[in-house]
């Protein structure tokens, strides 16, 4: 028989007599318990024969323990023993003197500071010991528990006469339904547990351990024999020290271990039966649990719940902790838990090895994991059992010392960081904080022990299990999460959603992150995720049961598997269910709040975090730092950060902090794409496009820009671009990784195909469309073009140090200071301008400033002709002044080099090499020609030698530059000082009416610099070719041209010649202003002819053709030619005629 306990059968018999035989009630079952007591004739009628015989026999065998042997007709009474009289008088009420059982209980339950006379103590012990060793009283149990014995097969099979039957009944007393038998066993147990030597075999099994641990002595007189509960308590503490592997712990023999645990189990229903705990906590029970009824472990539970209250005595708290540690080793030490979960344990096969009380299946952790697994799988576990489980899960979270693994493996961490924080789960949370890396390093075994404890307690299922978290976050829950049912697992998610918000308090934030760190490392610890995804995990990731792990697929790897499938397209194969996908997104959003919530990221990037990001302590900064140093990270870390960034590019809503910052912009401009479950990159694209709206705040703008800067490091980080162009990249740009290089590669391919008029573009339509989005986005911030940014970093710090990035402001600043740039930066800016002029949509500032004007004037224009359209409408009354100013800037830029004017370049592609080759020979591919080619073409325009297409374009340039001197780069280069000296008022007015040019013409004689004078003379020469080139004259003579020269087409000086003829014709009356301006021009041309004579025949011919005296000159030339012709006819040859003979020679 396993774990026998010899029961005080005589006591039970006497109890039963007092219950079932009223005639013996006065003696309380103890009438025959004294040696040499009254003979059977003193018994009252009604006592059954066997019982009477047993009583009589018992009387004859109890003489060894009595101090006086007297015969009394009424039976032996403890109160009549002289050695105990004084103690009874002092400790027990007179009413109980006739009841030996009450007196025995009274003396056993004495207060700690109350001493009982050694003689009385010895009498009591021998009395009880003799009761339990007499096998004759077994017949009493047979009589009182007859029906119960037949029901319990184990007890019915016990051999009678050896004292084992009653021990069996004690073992199964929780199954005894018969009230009388149950009372019989319960009353008896009070006596048994007051002394370990009264338990069958205990002394023999534990003698060596008692001596080794010095827990007491089994010899009379060496210690208070009646308080042997202290010996059991000592052994229990030794058992705990051994489990925790404390230094100097004594290894207790297995047989003794089983006996100790069995004692604890059998005393689990009534705290009176644990004598040490009873004495330690008696006053605390009266103070804290006075209304709690004894029995079924209720007093234990009440005391456990008050364990960490200030009024709890330290000795009671220590005794309670010891008992809790025993429960952790064997759940059956908790009567209420074992009873409530008995059927569920059997149902789900959680206690297969019932013969091994301390086997793995008996540990509290195993029971919790097994039943929690059933709950998480959706199986039915009784509410009573779940309630008990929750109590003990809370108990584990409150006191770390109940987990021997933590005590063993986390000893140094506790001593170094968490000493003095024992109560209410504070030590455990301190260890969690150490585990997070917030307070130094942690031992691997300690980390594993913490993870196991979190799984056993499963606080993710109900936050209230974590008392420290519950108390810290109570105010946040009441305000931010009041709409969620108390105890619901979604409370933790709600708290995470409000992390780093105004509603979150600091203490709650710390406790929450400490717990979430460990929940994040095992997907099963998030009950909602497990519930929604267990089917997907089994199907796609080959997972085991809730409380089972696999080396091939550890818990941390399962979530990685799930999120890889969450973002798969239909074409890519198996995907997650809708419900599981939602939960995966929720977890990803939470993990983005803190880099330590991503186990893979923290594990692989620990070194890089310390190296590059040690000063980045604010929320979200660590991941941004890793992304910024992507190229510097070690390979494993770089891969993890790259994968996470790629994931964010598909669903930027994972970045919860960024989403909070950008909420106003999202609501105003991006709410439609934000409502999508997976935005596929649309939301980030929308935020980038609206980055400069008034609703955009600094945090959102910085976050969006940061993500844009990260995207340029790898084209895979831009989900839409990757999706649209992946095949094109593999085909046309293999081995190129950086996004900016990929964009350049693809855009160059598109441009080449367009210029060569290929029938089929090599870049797909969807890629070309997305390529345009990427190019426009990159033009917004110089940092998005790394090569340009690196080339101009020095210039930016020198010339644009106070200019903010974004809105292409830095690029615009560099353009405006182009003459002061370093050569390398100057070259890059020129190349950029060349691209922008070919494709104005890439000119971010132009498109931004003129957005509304483009909609008004250029809706039907192709994107490449937008600037041309704006130039044509520049002087419209409806043109926005800011846009007009921006157009002028671009015109100035275009006129510096013909390559920056694609329309001119195309129109004059034959004229430029024909007339301006010397200039081209001196030019470089990446620097401006400062308007030299255009100046060359202007002169040829004046000579009327250009092709019609080129002439048209030069005429436009001449007309524009005649209105605004800034559009003539040669004039600006050579005449800046003269303009400041001679025409300051006109220049300051910045009116684009040609007043500065007119001023220079009128002050031609005052110009000192020869180069400037030459440029002004060129202007005069150009104005002869077309009156439109002279806006002041054209304005003054507009009516006269309409009246007198309407039939004459413009160009080639025709209208100018018409006006000159009208000026000389006395019959024609010109407008006074026109007449005055024409006379001024004649004087200027005359002076120009003197100062700058014709450089060749063509120049002379041009001067004649554009001269006001053209007709006179031509008439005179014609007359001279005619005269010479006539003279030749009339006078013959002037030279001597040669004879024929001479010819024949």
The tens digit of pLDDT for each residue in 402-411 reads 888 888 899 8
How would you class 196 by CB atoms within 10 Å of its CB: exposed for 0-12, middle for 13-18, buried for 19 or more?
buried
pLDDT reading at 1136 higher than 70: no
Burial of 45 (0-12, 13-18, 19+ CB in 10 A): exposed
Q: Are 839 and 904 in contact (CB under 8 A)?
A: no
Average pLDDT estimate for 399-428: 85
Of 354-368, 500-514, 553-567, where does mean pLDDT reach its minimum? 354-368
> Residue 701 in contact with residue 780, Cβ under 8 Å?
no
Residue 878, number of CB atoms within 10 A of its CB: 8
Q: What is the pLDDT of residue 93?
A: 83
Q: Which residue has the higher pLDDT, 845 or 203?
A: 845
pLDDT at residue 387 tops 70 = yes
Taking a C-beta distance cutoff of 8 angstroms, is the pair 1041, 1004 a contact?
no
Q: If you average pLDDT over every residue of the chain, what do you get?
A: 80
Give the DSSP letter string of 306-324: TTTSTTS-HHHHHHHHHHH
Q: What is the mean pLDDT of residues 315-339?
A: 91
H or E element in which residue 674 lies? helix 671-674
- Of 996 and 1083, more confident: 996
Q: What is the mean pLDDT of residues 10-21?
A: 37
Digit-coded pLDDT (tens) for 828-886: 999 999 889 988 999 999 999 999 999 999 998 888 899 999 999 998 999 999 999 99
Residue 356, pLDDT > 60, answer: no
Q: What is the mean pLDDT of residues 335-339?
A: 90
Residue bearing the bigger pLDDT, 1084 or 859: 859
Lowest mean pLDDT among 124-128, 600-604, 906-910: 124-128
Q: Which DSSP helix (H) or strand (E) runs through 463?
A: none
pLDDT at 83 over 50: yes
Judged by phi (left if over 0) then psi (alpha if -120 to 50, else beta), residue 620 lies in left
Give the residue, 848 or 191, on which the prediction is more confident. 848
Question: What is the structure's pLDDT at 137?
Answer: 54
Query: Which region among 851-855, 902-906, 1031-1035, 1070-1074 has the lowest average model confidence (pLDDT)?
Result: 1031-1035
- Between CA 793 and CA 800 the distance in angstroms is 10
Average pLDDT of 628-654?
Answer: 87
Of 413-417, 544-548, 1061-1065, where does mean pLDDT reach its minimum?
A: 544-548
Residue 950: band (very low, low, confident or very high) from pLDDT cuts 50, 70, 90: very high
Q: Is the pLDDT of residue 28 over 60?
A: no
pLDDT band at 400 (very low <50, low <70, confident <90, very high): confident
What is the arithmetic mean of pLDDT over 743-755?
87
- Residue 52: CB atoms within 10 A of its CB come to 15
Of 128, 132, 151, 170, whose CA–CA distance to 1 is shortest?
170
Measured distance between the N- and C-terminal CA atoms of the chain, rounded to whole angstroms: 162
Residue 798 has pLDDT above 60, yes or no: yes
CA-to-CA distance for 590 and 597, rounded, in angstroms? 8
More confident residue, 674 or 383: 383
Res. 897: pLDDT tops 50: yes
Long-range contacts, 1075-1079 (Cβ 8 Å, 24+): 1076/1036, 1077/1032, 1077/1033, 1077/1036, 1077/1037, 1078/1033, 1078/1037
Residue 832, token pair as written in the block:
């950029």
pLDDT in tens, 563-608: 888 876 655 566 788 899 889 988 888 888 888 888 888 888 888 8
Q: How confident is the model at residue 959 (pLDDT cuts 50, 70, 90)?
A: confident
pLDDT value of position 1144 = 60
Q: Is the pLDDT of residue 68 over 60?
A: no
Q: Is pLDDT of 415 > 50? A: yes
pLDDT band at 223 (very low <50, low <70, confident <90, very high): very low
3-state DSSP call for residue 438?
strand
Minimum mean pLDDT range among 538-542, 708-712, 727-731, 871-875: 538-542
Report which of 773, 686, 783, 673 is spatially closest to residue 722, judged by C-alpha positions: 773
User: With 90 as the cut, is the pLDDT of residue 36 above it?
Assistant: no
Q: What mean pLDDT do residues 146-155 have? A: 80
Q: What pLDDT band is residue 508 in, cutting at 50, 70 and 90?
A: very high
User: Whose CA is closest to 261, among 343, 315, 331?
Assistant: 331
Least confident of 71-75, 77-81, 940-944: 71-75
Q: Please tell me the predicted confidence (pLDDT) of residue 20.
A: 35
- Whether residue 269 is predicted with pLDDT greater than 70 in this model: the reply is yes
> What mean pLDDT is predicted for residues 38-50?
34
Q: Lowest-confidence range among 847-856, 958-967, 976-985?
A: 958-967
Tell me the range of 81-90, 593-602, 616-625, 788-797 where mean pLDDT is highest.
Answer: 788-797
CA 490 from centroid of its chain's CA atoms:
18
Check residue 378 and give its pLDDT: 86
Percent of the chain with pLDDT strictly greater than 90 = 23
């Amino acid at each position: 028989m396993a774990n026998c306990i010899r029961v005080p059968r005589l006591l039970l018999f006497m109890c039963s007599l007092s219950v079932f035989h009223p005639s013996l009630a006065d003696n309380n079952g103890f009438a025959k318990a004294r040696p040499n007591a009254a003979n059977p004739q003193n018994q009252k009628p009604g006592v059954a024969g066997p019982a009477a015989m047993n009583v009589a026999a018992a009387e004859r065998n109890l003489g060894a323990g009595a101090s006086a042997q007297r015969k009394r007709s009424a039976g032996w009474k403890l109160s009549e023993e002289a050695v105990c009289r004084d103690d009874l008088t002092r400790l027990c009420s007179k009413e109980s003197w006739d009841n030996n059982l009450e007196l025995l209980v009274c003396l056993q339950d004495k207060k700690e500071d109350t001493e009982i006379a050694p003689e009385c103590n010895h009498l009591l012990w021998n009395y009880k010991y003799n009761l339990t060793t007499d096998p004759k009283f077994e017949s009493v149990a047979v009589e009182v528990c007859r029906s119960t014995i037949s029901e319990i097969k184990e007890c019915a099979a016990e051999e009678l006469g050896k004292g084992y039957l009653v021990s069996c009944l004690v073992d199964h007393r929780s199954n005894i339904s018969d009230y009388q038998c149950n009372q019989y066993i319960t009353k008896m147990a009070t006596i048994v547990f007051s002394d370990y030597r009264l338990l069958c075999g205990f002394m023999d099994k534990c003698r060596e351990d008692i001596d080794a641990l010095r827990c007491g002595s089994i010899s009379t007189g060496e210690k208070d024999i009646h308080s042997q509960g202290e010996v059991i308590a000592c052994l229990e503490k030794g058992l705990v020290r051994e489990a925790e592997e404390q230094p100097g712990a004594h290894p207790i023999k297995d047989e003794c271990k089983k006996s100790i645990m069995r004692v604890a189990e059998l005393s689990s229903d009534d705290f009176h039966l644990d004598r040490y705990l009873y004495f330690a906590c008696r006053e605390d029970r009266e103070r804290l649990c006075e209304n709690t009824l004894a029995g079924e472990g209720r007093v234990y539970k009440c005391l456990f719940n008050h364990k960490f209250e200030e009024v709890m005595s330290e000795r009671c708290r220590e005794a309670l902790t010891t008992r809790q540690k025993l429960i952790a080793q064997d759940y059956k030490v908790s009567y209420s838990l074992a009873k409530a979960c008995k059927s569920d344990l059997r149902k789900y096969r959680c206690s297969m090895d019932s013969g091994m009380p301390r086997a793995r299946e008996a540990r509290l952790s195993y029971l919790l994991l097994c039943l929690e697994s059933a709950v998480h799988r959706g199986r039915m576990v009784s509410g009573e059992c779940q309630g008990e489980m929750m109590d003990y899960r809370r108990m584990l979270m409150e006191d770390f010392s109940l987990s021997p693994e933590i005590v063993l493996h986390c000893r140094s961490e506790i001593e170094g960081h968490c000493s003095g924080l024992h109560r209410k789960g504070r030590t455990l949370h301190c260890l969690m904080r150490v585990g997070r890396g917030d307070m130094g390093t942690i031992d691997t075994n300690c980390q594993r022990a913490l993870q196991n404890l979190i799984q056993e307690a499963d606080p993710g299922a109900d936050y209230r299990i974590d008392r420290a978290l519950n108390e810290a976050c109570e105010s946040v829950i009441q305000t931010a999460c009041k709409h969620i049912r108390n105890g619901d697992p979604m409370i933790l998610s709600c708290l995470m959603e409000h992390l780093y918000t105004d509603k979150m308090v600091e203490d709650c934030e710390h406790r929450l992150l400490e717990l979430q760190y460990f929940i994040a490392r095992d997907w099963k610890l998030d009950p909602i995720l497990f519930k929604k995804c267990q089917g997907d995990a089994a199907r796609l990731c080959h997972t085991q049961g809730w409380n089972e792990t696999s080396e091939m697929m550890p818990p941390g790897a399962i979530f990685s598997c799930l999120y890889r499938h969450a973002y798969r397209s239909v074409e890519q194969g198996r995907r997650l269910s809708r419900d599981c996908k939602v939960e995966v997104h929720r977890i990803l959003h939470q993990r983005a709040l803190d880099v330590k919530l991503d186990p893979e990221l923290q594990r692989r990037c620990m070194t890089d975090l310390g190296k590059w990001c040690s000063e980045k302590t604010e929320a979200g900064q660590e991941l941004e730092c890793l992304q910024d140093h992507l190229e510097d990270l070690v390979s494993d870390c770089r891969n993890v950060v790259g994968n996470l960034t790629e994931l964010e590019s598909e669903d930027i809503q994972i970045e919860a902090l960024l989403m909070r910052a950008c909420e106003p912009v999202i609501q105003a401009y991006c709410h439609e794409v934000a409502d999508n479950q997976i935005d596929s990159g649309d939301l980030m694209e929308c935020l980038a496009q609206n980055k400069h709206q008034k609703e955009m705040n600094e945090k959102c703008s910085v976050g969006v820009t940061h993500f844009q800067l990260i995207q340029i490091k790898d084209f895979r980080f831009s989900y839409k671009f990757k999706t649209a162009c992946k095949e094109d990249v593999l085909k046309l740009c293999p081995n190129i990784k950086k996004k900016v290089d990929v964009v350049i590669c693809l855009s160059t391919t598109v441009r080449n195909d367009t210029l060569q008029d290929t029938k089929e573009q090599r870049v797909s339509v969807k890629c070309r469309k997305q390529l345009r989005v990427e190019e426009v986005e990159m033009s917004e911030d110089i940092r998005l073009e790394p090569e340009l940014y690196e080339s101009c970093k020095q210039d930016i710090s020198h010339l644009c140090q106070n200019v903010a990035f974004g809105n292409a402001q830095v690029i615009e600043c560099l353009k405006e200071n182009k003459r002061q740039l370093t050569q390398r930066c100057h070259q890059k800016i020129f190349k950029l301008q060349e691209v922008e002029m070919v494709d104005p949509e890439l000119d971010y500032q132009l498109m931004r400033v003129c957005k509304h004007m483009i909609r008004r004037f250029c809706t039907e224009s192709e994107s490449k002709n937008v600037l041309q359209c704006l130039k044509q409408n520049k002087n419209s009354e409806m043109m926005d002044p800011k846009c007009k100013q921006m157009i002028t800037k671009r015109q100035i830029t275009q006129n510096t080099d013909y390559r920056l004017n694609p329309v001119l370049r195309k129109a004059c592609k034959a004229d430029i090499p024909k007339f301006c080759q010397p200039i081209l020979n001196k030019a470089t591919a990446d620097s401006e020609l400062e308007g030299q080619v255009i100046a060359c073409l202007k002169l040829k325009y004046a000579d009327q030698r250009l092709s019609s297409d080129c002439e048209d374009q030069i005429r436009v340039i001449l007309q524009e530059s005649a209105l605004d001197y800034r559009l003539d780069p040669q004039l600006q280069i050579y005449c800046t000082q003269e303009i400041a000296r001679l025409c300051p008022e006109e220049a300051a007015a910045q009116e684009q009416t040609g007043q500065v040019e007119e001023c220079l013409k009128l002050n031609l004689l005052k110009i000192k610099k020869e180069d400037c004078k030459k440029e002004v003379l060129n202007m005069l020469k150009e104005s002869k070719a077309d009156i439109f080139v002279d806006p002041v004259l054209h304005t003054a003579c507009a009516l006269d041209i309409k009246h007198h020269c309407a039939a004459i087409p413009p160009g080639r000086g025709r209208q100018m010649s018409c006006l000159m003829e009208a000026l000389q014709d006395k019959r024609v009356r010109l407008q006074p202003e026109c007449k005055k301006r024409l006379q001024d021009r004649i004087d200027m041309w005359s002076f120009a002819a003197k100062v700058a004579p014709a450089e060749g025949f063509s120049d002379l011919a041009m001067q004649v053709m554009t001269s006001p005296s053209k007709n006179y000159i031509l008439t005179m030339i014609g007359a001279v030619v005619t005269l010479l012709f006539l003279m030749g006819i009339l006078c013959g040859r002037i030279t001597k005629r040669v004879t024929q003979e001479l010819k024949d020679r």
